[in-house]
Amino acid sequence: MLNNKLITKYAYTLASLGMNVQKGQDVMIETNIENHWFSKILAEECYKLGARKVSIVYLDLELNKIESKYCSVEDIATIKNWEK
């Protein structure tokens, strides 16, 4: 595995250049559950750049597969208020 210093540098580069996090901005990170360890490092770098609030939404691809098997197309296609 890569060393912590390199991972932190990558997270900083992603937050500052890739995401262009600005002071006072709200940030939402959407990632798969397997990368939870990196999302925490990325969130910290966003805060260091001045983000007001960082929210992380974890995706579980296996759960999505189960959902698509049992839910109707209408239910999957409906956007709930909390998702907006």
pLDDT for 81 equals 81
pLDDT for 45 equals 98
Per-residue pLDDT of 4-63, as tens digits, reads: 999 999 999 999 999 999 999 999 999 999 999 999 999 999 999 999 999 999 999 898
pLDDT for 27 equals 97
Which of 27, 74, 33, 31 lies closest to 53 in space, CA to CA?
27
Which of 13, 11, 40 lies closest to 3 in space, CA to CA?
11
Which phi and psi (to 5°) does residue 55 adopt?
A: -110, 140
Per-residue pLDDT of 63-79, as tens digits, reads: 889 988 998 888 888 87
pTM of the prediction? 0.79
